[in-house]
Amino acid sequence: MTVRFDNTAQDRRVRVLGEPVESYPRLAPEVQRGSVRRITVVGEEILRRRCLEVTRFGTPELSHLIDDMFATNQVAEGAGLAANQVDVDLQLFVWDITDEWGVRHVGHIANPVLTEVPAGERRLVEESEGCLSVPGPYRMVPRLDRAVVRGRDKDGAPLVIEGRGYFARCLQHETDHLRGQLYLDRLAQRERKAALREMAASKDGMFARRAAVAEKLGK
């Protein structure tokens, strides 16, 4: 399945796994089914190693994990969430994000691989970026404004997801997670240390906010 972004301005329908749908609820169905898990924080070892490939598809366990990741991402008010951010060593991430053109993108992908964008189509954009595993600080991070990710859905069917702008940033950010990389690694040392200091000062407030959202959702 592929979403093309040539006609984004004309077609504002929600994209689920890259395909436009006629209607979609405010809360993804996975959020309703899922349970909230603890989000890992920078310094935990699982965030620093390449995750294992998903090899078993179509299982209840994989579906439950995806549901829990959606619920956790919703409570944390995130755009996307990788499996190692809920302490699971698998190449899997989910997203629920609205881009600059007002198009909402919802989905999951296993074993994602970023496709090389042709040199003539590469444009680097520096914008503010944060991370649920680095609660609090945001920093300017350069990313390509277009991304193509190939992988599989929970049943093993091939997926090709294309994004631009903020959605492209999300696809790159989450794929980085599964390779053991954080956005902090793209910062100069001084900026990285400042971000960590800011996190230390703000994380308790962020955790309290997440708990309040969870309670409101009955999670």
pLDDT tens for 202-215 read: 999 999 999 999 99
Q: What is the pLDDT of residues 65-123, one digit of tens each?
A: 999 999 999 999 999 999 999 999 999 999 999 999 999 999 999 999 999 888 888 89
2: pLDDT strictly greater than 80? no
State yes or no: is 174 an active-site residue.
yes
1: pLDDT strictly greater than 60? no
Task: Calculate the CA 132 to chain-centre distance.
Answer: 10
Cα–Cα distance between 176 and 197 in angstroms, integer?
A: 23
| Whole-number percent of the chain with pLDDT over 90 | 91
Burial 77-86 (b: 16+ CB within 10 A, else e): ebbbbbbbbb
195: pLDDT strictly greater than 90? yes
Cα–Cα distance between 141 and 124 in angstroms, integer?
A: 10
For 153, other C-beta atoms within 10 Å of its C-beta total 19
Q: What is the pLDDT of residues 30-64, one digit of tens each?
A: 999 999 999 999 999 999 999 999 999 999 999 99
| Average pLDDT of the chain, as a whole number | 94
Cα–Cα distance between 70 and 28 in angstroms, integer?
A: 8
| Interval 147-153 mean pLDDT | 97
Crossing angle (nearest 10°) for helices 60-75 and 189-217: 100
6: pLDDT strictly greater than 60? no
Q: What pLDDT, on a 0 to 100 scale, did the predictor assign at position 119?
A: 82
Among residues 174, 191, 198, 215, which one is catalytic? 174
* Confidence band of 9 (pLDDT split at 50, 70, 90): low
